[in-house]
Amino acid sequence: MTEDQARLQAFRTEVQTWFKDNVPADWRAGQTGVGTEDFLSFQRHWMKLLVAAGLATPHWAKGWPGGGRPLDEQIVIAEEMARADAPRLILYFVSLYHAAMTLMEWGNEAQKARHLPAILDGEIWCQGFSEPNAGSDLASLKTRAERQGDCYIVNGQKIWSTVGQYADYCLLLVRTDTTVPKQAGITFLLMDMKSPGIERRPIRQITGDEEFAEMFLTDVRIPVANRLGEENAGWRIAQTTLNSERGLTILELSERLSRSRWRLLEAMGAQDGVVADDQLRREAVDVFIRIDALRALVGEMMAKLVAGQEVGGAASIVKLLYAQVLREFTALGLRASAMQSQLLAPFTLGGGHETGNWSFDYMNSFMWTIAGGSNEIQRNIISERVLGMPREKYA
């Protein structure tokens, strides 16, 4: 065993033990069919535990509590989280990754001092990037910010802000120059969600769950001191935000999917691991093989990241693959469980993508084929950047 392997093995044991001792055994039942308040208080509780154990912030810079973990140890945490079937920390995900990573790279000392400790204490962040007419074509965003003394006056509409209805702060992209190419006129602001002029509404998804919000901004005053980086330099900063996960999310989700395979067999009425129906059995084999392929490909990508290499288009390939395999998995579970899954049943909040409520899981899988760069956008990226096919003409 090399020194690295020994270090990782020791760390894995430590993390495994922690999760074993701390993941509430009955949390899935406890978070099924509950209201917002129960969800929020459980997420707060889980966040406190993870922060105290240093397991919420391994990706933060050295010097911060829990921070400075090398990527291979972050991978161990993600894997063990999946193995332990730990609750997903969805209320704080944007805070811990998008907000924290962007602040650490681009924030000034005052901004870092104001927000990073607050995030550890549970400050909730959301992302104000997408707009009704700026989805896949994010850079065409139109929310306007006019400089007025030491404030920006912001008007516009944002949509698909994860946990936006609960957020204390928002990573906001605004247009500050309409006369230049679209990417060159965007500024990155930090918006206090208590500011007057913000109206937010939860968006009810096709699952019935409400994980996102839309925001209407009317003459919202944001101090210039809350600008991240220079005016009109926001597009580049936004790339940091969008790349803040470094493959860890897809790794964790692939592991969770893999560990949920038994649910599909249950849906097929497996007896002692035997599925009697030829068609279903063979389709389950196909999906399981693709799950293993996904994990192999994610593993390759993570190994490259650990070695400090560029992954390029591999991230798009992995995302497209995950989205498709998740769809296949949930659609097959839905089919196999037949009428049973057509009857309404309560769903689990923060339970990830494989809850065993097959209609919910199937509907929820569309999140992955649409959000974070739709399958179609990923296919553009793969065909143009990986395969070198001619580019689309973009406005």
Partner 1 sequence: MEFLIQQDELRDSARRVLDRKASRRLPAAQDGGVQWSDPGLWRTIADLGWLGIAVPEVMGGLGQPFYVLATLYQELGRVLSAQPFSSATIGLGAFVRCGGTASVLVDQAIAGDSVIVLTSGLGTVGASVAGTKTVLSGTVRTVPDAGIATHLLVPIDCGEPALALVGLPHPGVSVVHQSTWDQTRQVFDVAFADAEIDSAAVLVRGDAATSLLDHAAAQLDLALACDAIGGSDAIFAETLDYMGIRQQFGRPIASFQALKHRCADLKMAMEASRSLTEAACRAFSDDCDGWRAAAACSRLYAGSVYRTVTEEAVQFHGGIGFTWEHDCHLFLKRARLSEVIAGSSEQRKDQVAPALFRAAYA
Nearest CB to partner 1, comparing residues 131 and 354: 354
Nearest CB to partner 1, comparing residues 144 and 281: 281
Nearest CB to partner 1, comparing residues 226 and 260: 260
Nearest CB to partner 1, comparing residues 140 and 383: 383
Q: How far is the CB of 60 from partner 1 (least distance, A)?
A: 30
Nearest CB to partner 1, comparing residues 29 and 293: 293
Q: How far is the CB of 287 from partner 1 (least distance, A)?
A: 10
Which residue numbers are catalytic? Answer: 245
Q: How far is the CB of 325 from partner 1 (least distance, A)?
A: 9
- Give me the residues that bind partner 1 (CB under 8 A), please: 261-262, 264-265, 270, 273-275, 278, 281-282, 284-286, 288-290, 292-294, 296-297, 299-300, 314, 317, 320-321, 324, 376, 378-380, 382-384, 386-390, 392
Q: How far is the CB of 237 from partner 1 (least distance, A)?
A: 29
The CA–CA distances, whole Å, from 367 to 159, 326, 328, 371 equal 14, 10, 14, 5
Q: How far is the CB of 378 from partner 1 (least distance, A)?
A: 7
CA-nearest of 89, 88, 111, 87 to 100 is 111
